Every structure is written in C-alpha cells, then in structure tokens.
Amino acid sequence: MNLLPEPSGNPEPGIPTPGDPEPGTAPVLPRRLASGVTIRDMLPADIPAVHELEVRLFPVDAWPLQMFTDELMQPETRRYLVAEAPEGIVGYAGLMCVEPIADVQTIAVVPEYEGRGIGTALLTDLIAEGRRRGAADILLEVRADNPRAQQLYIRFGFEQIHVRKRYYRDGVDALIMRLQLEDVLALHSGILHQDTIPGAGPRPVQTDEAGRAGETAPTEADQK
C-alpha cells in the first residue's frame, strides 16, 4: 500500500470525514463520501470487477476469484465493502470476525483515487464493524517494506506485536499489528484522513483450498 499526502482542500488532520460512523456504532451503508465515492457492501455481482483490481494491485499474491466468492458466503463471520465511483469500483476491503478477534483481510484503493480519503473511510468502517460484532482486538498484516502504510495504522491506534518472517511470496516479512478497541474512542478524533492504495491488508499465503484466509494471530511455531 502506498500512502500519499492529502491534496490541499481536504479535511485537516483530526477532523472526521463527513459520514464516518461514530465510534462504537456500526457503519450505515451505503454512504457517500465528499469525493463522490460511495462506500457500500460488496455484492456477488461485484466479484469480477474486484478480482480484476486484485490482480492489478497485488500481482505477487492475488487472491483467486473463487476466494472472494467463498468469503461472501460466510456473512456470519465476514463483511466486505467496496468503494464505487461513477466509473466503477475503485477500492474494496474485508473483515473477518470470530469473537473476540477481528482480522482485516484486505484493503485496497486504486492509485488513481489516492488522496481522497477512501482508504481511511474503508478502514473506519471495518473497525466499526469489528466493534459491532463484539471484537476486543482487530489484527492486520502489513509488509515490512511499507512504512507509510504502517504509519497510517499507527494513527488509527494499531501497534506492532509480531513479525512473520518471509511471509509474502516475494520474501518480505509481514508485521502483525493490533488495535485494542477500548482505545478507539480516545483515538477516533485524532485519525489523519489519508488514503490507502495497494498492499494494506493481509495477503494470506495461497493454498490449493480457495477461500481459506490466513490467520494473523501469532502461532506457537511463529513465536519460536
């Protein structure tokens, strides 16, 4: 994920984007951002377009198309969102929650729409959804060679708790980061509204079994 400064005219740091869910409440979707982009739930009909973006944005470890289908078939533990502009889908994100842990499965925005607060809006909605589902912590993975993405997550209140060596297919380490939701209320008003594009969320190591997302919680083997 690349992060670029917001262009002039966007909200000042610390001022919530209009329409952001209040801390402690679930996202009310669809909702329209000031940029004209709509955040809404992902539908099965969106999967081909989302997968095209997935292959473009994550060429090293893109999810197979069937994985998105399988994820949407598990609404009891999953919620996936898209960011839709007049010309089509320009971003997407997903959350898995098995109480008390929620996991940001993926989050991405196309480069052409960077700097418009879309990534921040998607992540804000995922955090709100995790809280609605009763999560105490939200976990995510981010590439060790992506410090700008790490800084965005830090501004949301995430902290690094673990490193998975050579997790990504190109050999780059994954940093495991955690957000403790009891901290969200205090941090909500201090979030910087910057945008996210490729590489934000966990890119699970692919297996032959489509649809199986990787766990981000450190295992006993990881800790050795």
Residues tagged active-site: 141, 153
Report whether 26 contacts 129 (CB < 8 A).
yes
| Chain centroid to CA 224 | 28
Whole-angstrom distance, CA of residue 75 vs CA of residue 86: 27
Closest to 130 measured CA to CA, from 160, 162, 164, 156: 156
Query: Which amino acid is present at 150?
Result: Q
